Amino acid sequence: MEIKEFYDYNKEIAKFKVAYALVEWDMRTKMPPKAAMDRAEVAGKLARTIFDMGTSPKMATFVEYFNRPKINEKLSEVDRRNVYLVTKEYRRVSSIPPDEFEKFTIACSKGENVWQEAKVESNFAKFKPYLEEIVGYLKKFVEYYGYEENKYDALLEDYEPSMTTKDLKKIIDELKAELVPFIKDLTSKGKAPDTSILKGNFDKASQERLSHEVLSAMTYDFNGGRIDETAHPFTIGMGVGDVRVTTNYHVDDMTSALFSTMHEGGHALYEQGVSEAYKLMPIYNGASMGIHESQSRTWENLVGRSRSFWKFFFPKLQNIFPQFKGVPLEKFYRAINLTKPSLIRIESDEVTYNLHIMIRFEMEEALINDKIKVADLPEVWNEKVKQYLGIDVPDNAHGVLQDVHWSGGQIGYFPSYMLGNLYASQFFFTAKKEIPNLEEEIENGNLKVLREWQREKIHKFGALYDPKDLLIKVTGEPLSHKFFMNYVKEKFSEIYF
């Protein structure tokens, strides 16, 4: 059997995935509401086709053949990695009995619908039976997937390959020990910046111009993508030459769309930078959710909320929104860097964000290991928010019901957000070391220098390496919380003290 046959078959699957992505993008941006029910069936059919092809007897033959030691050792690095990724996915998906998988998929889509209502009504009891069903399935899947030390490892693997619960706990403990007292110092002894200048009326058309301008500055390729509006911003790749970003405009707050555009733009630069030689291969992808998030956070925070970037970009903002013409740059820089413990994860700042993730990780890990029940979640949530963030949760809508992830069966996803913040600081530290005048380049608007560094060190490899190995390859050391802590301490001490 030739490796070409393996690729031909997998490229067929990849083409269905591109079609699925296009349907998904349309459903979340441009689709007329009347099409919702029928289009869901189209999406369902495509998903089923992808599932069937991925678990077919033909696929089983490829997996068996190319994993034979004598065959496998002769493969090139790229071929071996593609075989590895396909094998892993095949074993995971085919370990679940198809009817159970289908029931789980239905439970998740019902769960998402009920969650939306339950959130509006702040009614956890309404969502509880659905979440119990979803968690029930996940606990079964964990046994099918298998794990060595902790059941939660089996779920983490989907989002952050080779990360373990044990490693995660260690890094969280180290981070928590420094971050919690630092936030306490900032909020009790520091002087919070004045954010009143950010209030105003910002028409949508001008915000659209701003989004275009910032993406262009980031060297996002508009010939290989586009930007549209959506309720919950996301980035979606549809193969070579089509990586789309979305954003969400608020007329009373221009920072929301601006930073979410930079965030999604960071994801998009990653996807636009994967080597074209990997087109339609399993490695034509990001290394992990956490590595992906590190690229978005770099542009949103390490660049987007830096003084150097605003030295370059503030005049552009002032041109689009003349109300900023009398505002000193320094005042603006401080205003976009307010840090404040708050209830909602997606609205939290770069210093307090990781605490929101720690809360969710600890609860998920306890849930999957039967240390707590679904019924306990609201109470545990509120206790942890009080303990970590020092605030009272007024109702479940602002607490345990705020995120969509659990309703869609995505348990194990949250840690990627925190890992993204940590990876981002560690990568950026290396970038600054390797490009000594990086800040000056950013001040001059030469953002391509950073983009090129990311492309050469991270983007072009796609999913060729596990995140752990990629991090060491780029930065020379394993994951450490110290890069993030040093970054926030230096930056926010200067702003607050």
CB of 416 to Zn ion, least distance (A): 9
CB of 497 to Zn ion, least distance (A): 31
Nearer to Zn ion, 193 or 233 (CB): 233
| Cα distances (Å, whole numbers) of residue 246 to 31, 67, 205 | 14, 40, 15
Nearer to Zn ion, 101 or 270 (CB): 270
Nearer to Zn ion, 54 or 225 (CB): 225
Nearer to Zn ion, 247 or 296 (CB): 296
Nearer to Zn ion, 133 or 293 (CB): 293
Nearer to Zn ion, 293 or 350 (CB): 293
CB of 233 to Zn ion, least distance (A): 9
Neighbouring CB atoms inside 10 A of 293's CB total 27
Angle ∠(94,284,433) on CA atoms, nearest 5: 125
For Zn ion, the nearest residue by Cβ is 296
Binding site for Zn ion (CB under 5 A): 293, 296
Q: CB neighbours of 104 closer than 8 A, spacing ≥ 6?
A: 96, 134, 137, 141, 409
What would the DSSP string read from start to end of 271-323?
HHHS-GGGTTSTTSS-S-HHHHHHHHHIIIIIITTSHHHHHHHHHHHHHH-GG
CB of 266 to Zn ion, least distance (A): 8
The C-alpha atoms of residue 483 and residue 113 are separated, in whole angstroms, by: 40
Angle ∠(138,142,146) on CA atoms, nearest 5: 165
The C-alpha atoms of residue 23 and residue 236 are separated, in whole angstroms, by: 11
CB of 267 to Zn ion, least distance (A): 6
CB of 296 to Zn ion, least distance (A): 4
Q: Which of 479, 170, 276 is nearest to 470 (CA)?
A: 479
User: Which of 264, 293, 364, 365 is the catalytic position?
Assistant: 264
Residue 264 annotated to the active site: yes
CB environment 115-125: b (16+ within 10 A), e (fewer): beebbeeebbe
Nearer to Zn ion, 411 or 424 (CB): 424
Beta strands (DSSP E) in 173-309 are 227-229, 235-237, 243-247
Q: Which of 434, 431, 410 is nearest to 483 (CA)?
A: 431
The C-alpha atoms of residue 71 and residue 234 are separated, in whole angstroms, by: 40
| Cα distances (Å, whole numbers) of residue 168 to 162, 164, 361, 488 | 11, 6, 9, 20
CB of 319 to Zn ion, least distance (A): 28
* Residues 285/10, Cβ–Cβ less than 8 Å: no
Active site residues: 264
